[in-house]
Structure 1
Amino acid sequence: MIERADYFAAKLAYETDASDLYARQKAGDAVVVVDVRSDEAWAQGRVPNAVHMHYSEIATRAKAEIPVGTEVVVYCWSPGCNAGAKGALEFAKLGYQVREMIGGFEYWVREGYPVADAEGDHRRPVDPLTGVPRIRSRV
């Protein structure tokens, strides 16, 4: 039983999800969000205020751009992409407190959180399978 609890405690120490990250951003928590995807993916949309740093550039750029000791959350496209894990590994090797946002940008968008792109910040429609349902009052 303790092994399972240890496993899940460790998992939560190294992962976060879109809803928890959004809540932390709204609360003003000091966390740097890093998009580790390609330039093309970044241009299609990203988490507002995220830093763009492809996972292959982290070893050479991170310490110059993000103070060591800063909490970092990385993300890639989706659950089917392992670039987030690659990015998290690079930050961890450099000594950062890092978490990977499970579900990636796909679930950020599907849950209806703000998206930034060349046109500014906006929201896309919430996917009813993943987003929080809105309760309609009965009149």
Structure 2
Amino acid sequence: MPSLVTENPAAPSELAAAHFTKRLSLETDCWDVHETLKSGAQDFILLDVRGPAAFARGHLPGALNLPHGKITERRMVDWPDGTLFVVYCAGPHCNGADRAALRLARIGRPVKLMIGGITGWIDEGFALECET
């Protein structure tokens, strides 16, 4: 009798590779963002899509605050076409980053969601910046 893990066979390698490639084209994680920020080789705009009060209490270093409901084509003209945006919100219990990513994608902007959000960032032991 197969276990709960093996009762559904693993996908063929080609299908698994396509699946995980697609996921990585849509998502990044806290560690990769942190390492990129630390290296000084940031090639994306980091958007905290929570409200201003939450942003002021603590956000990722260098993040810009742009609540997901304020992402519009007109607002995004400040950045050249092709600019990659990495969006995050409070964490896995919040869909603000998904909403932001959807808005950006609908206006033709490249976007990745940072999985884990603030919760994941803190879980990794990384520091937040606070507004003073």
Question: Does TM-score exceed 0.5, indicating one fold?
Answer: yes
TM value normalised by structure 2:
0.82
Partner of 2:106: 93
Higher strand share: 1
Match of 1:72, as an amino acid? F
Partner of 1:103: 116
Partner of 2:66: 53
1:69 and 2:82 aligned: yes
Q: Distance in 1 between matches of 2:42 and 2:70?
A: 25
Aligned positions, number: 119
TM value normalised by structure 1:
0.79
Q: Distance in 2 between matches of 1:46 and 1:61?
A: 25
Question: Which structure 1 segments of 5+ residues have no match?
Answer: 120-139
Q: Which ranges of 4 or more aligned residues in structure 1 deviate by more than 3 Å?
A: none
Q: CA RMSD in A?
A: 1.5
Kindly name which structure, 1 or 2, has the bigger radius of gyration based on alpha carbons. 2
Higher relative contact order (CA 8 A, sep 6+): 2
Match of 1:87, as an amino acid? A
Any idea what SS the aligned residue of 1:117 has? coil
